[in-house]
């Protein structure tokens, strides 16, 4: 059956909902010379809709190339498996998303890799850990959920001295705040589910960097199958079109709400890079270019029970995992993103009783502020 196509170009990237494509001489040459990852002939390897989303992410991050995967963890695991093997040494920040922490502390040592974790904001520890050679250095721009900022230029220098590839998870910050590649990172990963998509309806990941690194990750996706469906890539492309507009509104709301929360007697501590009280305010001023993101972490007086009651009383914020969507989402790390850690492990990385993680959406800020005030008052002792 002949495929019909319009004689002019479509305004919107088509969904190439095809598992396979016609093989031709170029395809066969690519299979013979490049493991088949350079041409479109089977959608587990490449798909035009998925590649189009990768092009947008590469542009946002200032990267030579980008690969879109089936999830953020798919991106992270493809990167690690593409670059590291048994016997290799990895140095990573201690403050990591729960499943990333599980990957680095349980799965990678089981595959014969040595992993050393260091506090994200302790440069002396980074320098000491990287005084000996390493294969991979890994950290999050803003840690999940403590919002501790990684000094990317400083760690990049240590990684280079150690002969390591430096990878940064930019999920929480997003390229709206900082582009790690411009500050010395070699490769960026992200959960595209979050700010890149922005509508809480797609699970996807991204790896952005040099073509050589991205191609190594493509080979892992080829073998392990963490590819993205083209319809999901189409939705991601749709979300990416409003990335800047969404983030501007979300960051305005977050800055206002962080200031309001900090004045509440029912809140023990607010962590937000735009506040004067932020522990790394100087670094934030240098690295984030006066944009501070849409994530807030705060500690409700009264511990986890009171924090849970507050979440359920807040009508304008949905109690749910994930983040980065146009709707405001709130969660307690101890029973969502970091449930697999013990209480002692959570305490060691700064997840306190009563801590909540807030992803601020695009709603009316007056509605959000009034609702949060009412919810805190309704749960006050």
- Residue by residue, DSSP assigns 89-110 as EEEEES---HHHHHIIIIIHHH
Is-contact 50 76, C-beta < 8 A? no
Is-contact 141 169, C-beta < 8 A? yes
For residue 169, indicate whether it is catalytic: yes
CA distance 146 to 357: 9
**Which residues have CB under 8 Å from 251's CB, separation 6+?**
176, 291, 292, 293, 294
- Kindly report the backbone phi and psi dihedral angles of residue 204, in degrees, each rounded to the nearest multiple of 5, phi listed first: -160, 165
DSSP 183: G
Please pick, among 179, 194, 346, 357, the residue that the annotation labels catalytic.
194
For residue 148, indicate whether it is catalytic: no
Is-contact 125 106, C-beta < 8 A? no
Q: What is the pLDDT of residue 347?
A: 80
Cβ neighbours around 229 below 10 Å, total: 18
Please pick, among 46, 65, 89, 97, the residue that the annotation labels catalytic.
97
Look at the alpha carbons of 77, 79, 84, 88 in this order and tell me if their dihedral is positive or negative. negative
The ranges of the chain with pLDDT < 70 are: 1, 381
Q: What is the bridge-based pairing of β-strands 205-209 and 65-69?
A: antiparallel
From its phi and psi, is residue 214 left (phi > 0), alpha (psi between -120 and 50) or beta? alpha
Q: What is the pLDDT of residue 295?
A: 98
Q: What is the pLDDT of residue 381?
A: 62
Please pick, among 26, 44, 106, 286, the residue that the annotation labels catalytic.
44
For residue 89, indicate whether it is catalytic: no
Cβ neighbours around 226 below 10 Å, total: 21
Q: What is the pLDDT of residue 160?
A: 98
Q: What is the bridge-based pairing of β-strands 205-209 and 187-191?
A: antiparallel
**C-alpha of 377 from chain center:** 33
CA distance 217 to 212: 9
For residue 97, indicate whether it is catalytic: yes
CA distance 48 to 230: 8
Q: Structure pTM? A: 0.95
Please pick, among 30, 121, 151, 169, the residue that the annotation labels catalytic.
169
Q: What is the pLDDT of residue 2?
A: 72
Q: What is the bridge-based pairing of β-strands 165-169 and 329-331?
A: unpaired
């Amino acid at each position: 059956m002949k495929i019909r196509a319009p004689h002019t170009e479509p305004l919107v990237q088509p969904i190439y909902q095809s598992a396979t494509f016609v093989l031709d001489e170029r395809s066969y040459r690519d299979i013979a010379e490049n493991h088949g990852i350079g041409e479109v002939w089977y959608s587990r390897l490449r798909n035009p809709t998925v590649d189009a989303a990768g092009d947008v992410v590469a542009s946002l991050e200032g990267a030579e190339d980008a690969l879109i995967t089936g999830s953020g963890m798919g991106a992270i695991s493809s990167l690690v498996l593409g670059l590291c093997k048994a016997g290799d040494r990895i140095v990573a920040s201690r403050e990591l998303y729960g499943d990333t922490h599980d990957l680095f502390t349980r799965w990678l040592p089981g595959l014969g890799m040595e992993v050393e974790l260091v506090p994200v904001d302790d440069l002396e520890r980074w320098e000491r850990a990287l005084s000996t050679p390493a294969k991979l250095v890994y950290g999050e721009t803003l840690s999940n959920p403590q919002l501790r900022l990684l000094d990317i230029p400083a760690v990049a220098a240590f990684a280079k001295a150690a002969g390591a590839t430096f990878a940064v998870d930019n999920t929480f910050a997003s390229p709206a705040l900082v582009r790690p590649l411009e500050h010395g990172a070699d490769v960026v990963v992200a959960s595209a589910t979050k700010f890149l998509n922005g509508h809480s309806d797609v699970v996807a990941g991204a790896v952005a960097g040099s073509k050589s690194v991205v191609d190594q990750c493509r080979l892992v996706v080829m073998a392990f199958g963490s590819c993205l469906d083209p319809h999901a890539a189409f939705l991601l492309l749709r979300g990416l079109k409003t990335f800047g507009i969404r983030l501007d509104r979300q960051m305005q709301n977050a800055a206002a709400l962080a200031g309001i929360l900090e004045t509440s007697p029912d809140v023990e501590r607010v962590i937000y890079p735009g506040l004067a009280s932020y522990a790394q305010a100087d670094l934030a001023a240098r690295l984030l270019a006066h944009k501070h993101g849409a994530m807030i972490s705060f500690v409700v007086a009264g511990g986890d029970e009171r924090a849970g009651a507050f979440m359920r009383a807040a009508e304008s914020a949905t109690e749910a995992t994930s983040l980065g969507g146009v709707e405001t989402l709130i969660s307690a790390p101890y029973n969502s993103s970091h449930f697999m850690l013990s209480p002692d492990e959570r305490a060691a990385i700064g997840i306190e009783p009563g801590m909540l993680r807030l992803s601020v959406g695009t709603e009316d800020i007056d509605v959000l502020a009034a609702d949060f005030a009412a919810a805190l008052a309704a749960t006050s002792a």
